[in-house]
Amino acid sequence: MLEIKNLHASVEDKEILKGINLKVNAGEVHAIMGPNGSGKSTLSAVIAGNENYEVTDGTVFLNGDDLSDLAPEERAHKGVFLSFQYPVEIPGVSVTNFMRTAINETRKAQGLEEMPANEMLKTIRQKSELLEIDRKFLSRSLNEGFSGGEKKRNEIFQMAMLEPKLAILDETDSGLDIDALRIVANGVNKLKSKDNAIIVITHYQRLLDYIVPDFVHVLYNGKIVKSGGKELAYELEEKGYDWIKAEN
Amino acid sequence: MSKYTEDDLKIELENKEYEYGFYTDIESDTFPIGLSEDIVRAISHRKEEPQWMTDWRIEAFRAWEQMKEPEWANVHYEKPDFQSISYYSAPKSKSKYASLDEVDPELLETFKKLGISIDEQKMLSGVAMDIVVDSVSVATTFKKTLGEKGIIFCSISEAIREYPELVKKHLGTVVPQKDNFYAALNSAVFSDGSFCYIPKGVRCPMELSTYFRINQAGTGQFERTLVIADEGSYVSYLEGCTAPSRDENQLHAAVVELIALDDAEIKYSTVQNWYPGNKEGKGGVFNFVTKRGLCEKNAKISWTQVETGSAVTWKYPSCVLKGDNSVGEFYSIAVTNNFQQADTGTKMIHLGKNTKSTIISKGISAGKSQNSYRGLVQISARAENARNFSQCDSLLMGNNCGAHTFPYIESKNPTAKIEHEATTSKIGEDQVFYCNQRGIPTEKAIALIVNGFSKDVLNKLPMEFAVEAQKLLEISLEGSVG
């Protein structure tokens, strides 16, 4: 599914990623953990194609396709989805309208007709039920005045609607209380399948109690310094990041 | 006329001279350039107007001669030379093109994007219409329905001939001849325009649109509109067209007067898309418009406008809230791109008790354009319990454009409640990236954000107009993000 080879990236001439190698197969959940400033969010932004980051070396492949020259929307059309740590507000644009635009633009890029309105409504109904989302919420302006929990649930709702091949959840647990965390995690688990892959980026082990990873990677100073199974997350929780820092 | 004076004789002689001398000169389709009393008389004569109308025009012309072009607006342009313009051009009966193949492909592309039907495209670009029967029959059915209700909807020239009492009674009562430089000019030389009268208690069953008036596709440079809603009546009036209007006339100075008598309501919606000039700021239409409505007791006037065209716009649709409990509303979206300049807003003049006004203005600036909101809320001493709410929002795209707000508030009554809110925001890179990440390309993302920003005003437009206006916003801002 995803293959990252020797990825180097910098922002304003400061190198953040210093040679990342990562392979994620369909049906797998990978967790990327690490202390603040280790490059976790940069990695997700670079995969999504954010042009504020300059890739200086290395390549990202999705299902064998080199993503290097693709614009963010083209990557999205190929099935890359990023759940933002800080989702932006777009006043006056309802969640439904935003989703309809996103889906139809993706379909257009794939040479498909626009999704008929009744099918759209049906899908919205199914997905909102799946994620226990009150449909009144869908007519509100995108993220405007949303609570932290609502914003993250909205991200997962969009993931459900777009059915990506690769979903990157960037600090989805930040700012959530335990109930909101459970709801969001349940949503992600329901969307997991053998055909898609999920990368969970997190600071704490807490989220991984709910979204259980197959692999855990520790990112430190722009490199993956340790990889293992889910038990690595517990070890980190116990020993703290100082353990990693000391070793490197 | 009670007494025949020397002055009358002089005027008569002048008229004679013009009848025999000048008249032959102007048999051609277009008048010679320049403006003088003779030209004003000739226009009036050409239109077979009664004497009172000619006099009215002359009075306006004499006032105009003494006036100076206003300079207070936040716009910069080279002033038109009023003596190098021809003030009358007979409607051309010959079509400009034989088929659509001869029309500028760029224009056709825009038509296509707007979803304008082939027939409409032909009509708008001046192509000979062989299917004209269709629109004639539509217009005829339309006229019949209106006639049954006693509604008058015709050109102002026709109204001057057919309904002189109505025109004489109301013309210039809201926008006097001497109101301002451009209104005076318009009063002197207006070529044509629309007239509408809704009788007492009648609710106009359809949106009145100039589109249905055959031969109106090419409206004149100096358009004059008069809408009268008699007691307890209602009308929704649509002006303009989303299709780009390419016009060789650089200067446009229209006057619109609305009169809402007791308990009447007028909804006036405009989409203006005159040629804005090219990307370097060359060419483009100067649009200096005076629009004003008068509300009697319990009456209501709503102005809704979407302004995307013109190189320079100078326009303040206003309401005089004369009657007690009357209501004025102004909803506006003004888009400027490239080198466009817009100075637009409204005046709400509260004269009656318990009068209410609402102003919602959305300015969108891109490129190197300048977009100004200018508004006046005036509460007179006897306007007890007057209320106003104003909201002026500006959206900026890029770093080279400007947004300005000039709100004036004058209150002479301590019971008045006036609220003013203003915001300025910029389309953020993070918003665009967020949309991109969901598969929405940048152009579409901008359109989405702009539409969201403008929603409060778009919602006020009649349904089918709103859809067109939305597409128009997208097209106007195309290429504004690098």
Assess B249–A contact: CB distance below 8 Å, yes or no: no
Alpha helices in B50-172 (DSSP H): 51-66, 105-114, 118-125, 132-148, 156-162, 164-170
**Is the pLDDT at B472 greater than 90, yes or no?**
no
- Binned at pLDDT 50, 70 and 90, residue B443 comes out as confident
A2-247 — its CATH code? 3.40.50.300
Contact criterion met (CB < 8 Å) for B433 and A91? no
Instruction: Sort out which chain A residues have CB atoms less than 8 A from B428's CB and list them.
Output: 88
**Is the pLDDT at B308 greater than 90, yes or no?**
no
Percent of chain B with pLDDT over 90: 47
Residue of A nearest to B456 (CA): A92
Residue of A nearest to B449 (CA): A90
Average pLDDT over residues A175-180: 84
**Is the pLDDT at A93 greater than 70, yes or no?**
yes
Sequence letter at residue B405: T
Distance (Å, whole) CA B401 – CA A221: 41
Mutate to test the interface with B, among A82, A84, A88 (most CBs of B within 10 A): A88
Assess B439–A contact: CB distance below 8 Å, yes or no: yes
Q: Closest Cα of chain B to A76: distance in Å?
A: 5
Sequence letter at residue A220: Y
Task: Quickly count: other Cβ atoms within 10 Å of residue B133's Cβ.
Answer: 9
- Classified as helix, coil or strand, B417 is strand
pLDDT of residue B223: 86
* Chain A, chain B: beta-carbon pairs less than 8 Å apart: 73
Which carries the bigger pLDDT value, residue B291 or residue B277?
A: B291
Mutate to test the interface with A, among B364, B424, B433 (most CBs of A within 10 A): B433
Partner residue opposite A158 with nearest CB, options B438, B452, B453: B438
Distance (Å, whole) CA B445 – CA B433: 9
Residue of B nearest to A46 (CA): B437
Partner residue opposite A76 with nearest CB, options B429, B439, B449: B439
Chain segment B181-226, per-residue pLDDT in tens: 999 999 999 987 889 999 999 999 888 876 543 333 334 578 899 9
Q: What's the Cα-to-Cα distance from B305 to each of A128, A143, B120, B226, B310, rounded to whole Å? A: 38, 29, 22, 17, 14
Assess B452–A contact: CB distance below 8 Å, yes or no: yes
Q: Closest Cα of chain B to A200: distance in Å?
A: 17
pLDDT of residue B106: 60
Q: Closest Cα of chain B to A74: distance in Å?
A: 7
Contact criterion met (CB < 8 Å) for B452 and A109? no
Assess B437–A contact: CB distance below 8 Å, yes or no: yes
Across B185-199, B243-257, B371-385, B452-466, least confident range:
B243-257
Chain segment B109-142, per-residue pLDDT in tens: 655 665 555 555 555 544 433 333 333 444 556 7
Tell me the pLDDT of chain B averaged across its residues: 81
- For chain A, counts of helices (H) and of strands (E): 8, 12
Chain segment B3-32, per-residue pLDDT in tens: 445 555 444 434 433 232 222 232 345 677
Contact criterion met (CB < 8 Å) for A91 and B452? yes
Per domain, the residue ranges of chain A are: 2-247
**Is the pLDDT at B389 greater than 80, yes or no?**
yes
pLDDT of residue A148: 87
Average pLDDT over residues A66-90: 94
pLDDT of residue B136: 41
Average pLDDT over residues A83-88: 94
Per domain, the residue ranges of chain B are: 8-69, 97-130, 132-426
Across A12-16, A141-145, B208-212, B314-318, least confident range:
B208-212
ipTM: 0.95
pLDDT of residue A218: 92
Instruction: Sort out which chain B residues have CB atoms less than 8 A from A101's CB and list them.
Output: 440, 444, 448
Residue of B nearest to A47 (CA): B437
pTM of the entire structure?
0.81
Q: A55 pairs with which residues across the strands?
A: A9
Distant-in-sequence, close-in-space partners of B453: CB < 8 Å, separation ≥ 6: A91, A92, B362, B364, B393, B395, B425
**Is the pLDDT at A32 greater than 90, yes or no?**
yes
Assess B438–A contact: CB distance below 8 Å, yes or no: yes
Instruction: Sort out which chain B residues have CB atoms less than 8 A from A84's CB and list them.
Output: 434, 437
Residue of B nearest to A93 (CA): B452
Contact criterion met (CB < 8 Å) for A77 and B439? yes
Q: Closest Cα of chain B to A236: distance in Å?
A: 32
pLDDT of residue B73: 84
Question: What is the β-pairing status of strands B318-321 and B300-307?
Answer: unpaired
pLDDT of residue B102: 63
Angle, CA A133 vertex, CA A129 and CA A137 arms, to 5°: 130
Assess B459–A contact: CB distance below 8 Å, yes or no: no
Average pLDDT over residues B253-259: 94
pLDDT of residue A246: 79
Instruction: Sort out which chain B residues have CB atoms less than 8 A from A164's CB and list them.
Output: none
Partner residue opposite B439 with nearest CB, options A93, A106, A142: A106
Chain segment A139-150, per-residue pLDDT in tens: 899 999 998 888
Instruction: Sort out which chain A residues have CB atoms less than 8 A from B453's CB and list them.
Output: 91-92
**Is the pLDDT at B400 greater than 50, yes or no?**
yes
Residue of B nearest to A92 (CA): B452
Which carries the bigger pLDDT value, residue B276 or residue A44?
A: A44
